[in-house]
């Protein structure tokens, strides 16, 4: 067995409307009568990241591969890497993704409020992304 093989498959491409660069999703769990969250594994190629966005009931990230960034609006970006657990509060504008030099994958546990779990906002600009990568 190859111990460096990814935990989950890369999955299917995510829409460019909400992501910059090449990101992929493997859905893992859907909400059911006990659980009001979804779980999905998101793979970010180098340079790929989410748009800025918010979650009405927050989100938890379990980083399973590589290294990247998590940034709350108006705060310094945080380096996140394999094994890290990130707790994102409700209604906090943020993004997450790979670095310019490294791929990153995380499992995202995203709570629902009614039928909503995310509000997508503007892309992370090249300038914003460059600044973070110069850390």
CB of 121 to Mn ion, least distance (A): 11
Per CB under 5 A, 59 contacts Mn ion: yes
CB of 61 to Mn ion, least distance (A): 7
Asked if residues 97 and 14 have their Cβ atoms less than 8 Å apart, the reply is: no
Kindly state the tokens that stand for 62: 């379990």
Return the number of the residue (59 or 107) whose C-beta is nearest Mn ion.
59
Per CB under 5 A, 111 contacts Mn ion: no
Asked if residues 108 and 59 have their Cβ atoms less than 8 Å apart, the reply is: yes
Asked if residues 79 and 40 have their Cβ atoms less than 8 Å apart, the reply is: no
Site string for Mn ion, 69-108 (x = CB under 5 A): ----------------------------------------
CB of 31 to Mn ion, least distance (A): 17
Asked if residues 70 and 86 have their Cβ atoms less than 8 Å apart, the reply is: yes
CB of 76 to Mn ion, least distance (A): 17
Q: How far apart are CA 120 and CA 39, in angstroms?
A: 18
Q: Give the residues lining the site for Mn ion (CB under 5 A).
A: 59
């Amino acid at each position: 067995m190859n111990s460096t093989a990814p935990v989950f498959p890369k999955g299917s491409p995510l829409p460019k409307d909400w992501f910059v660069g090449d990101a992929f999703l493997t859905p893992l769990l859907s909400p059911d009568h006990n659980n009001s969250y979804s779980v999905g594994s998101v793979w970010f190629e180098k340079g790929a990241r989410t748009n800025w966005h918010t979650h009405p009931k927050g989100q938890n990230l379990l980083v399973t591969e590589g290294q990247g960034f998590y940034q709350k609006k108006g705060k310094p970006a945080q380096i996140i890497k394999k094994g890290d657990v990130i707790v994102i509060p409700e209604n906090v504008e943020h993004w997450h993704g790979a670095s310019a030099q490294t791929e990153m994958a995380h499992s995202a546990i995203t709570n629902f409020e009614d039928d909503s779990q995310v509000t997508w906002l503007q892309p992370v600009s090249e300038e914003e992304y460059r600044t973070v990568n110069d850390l």
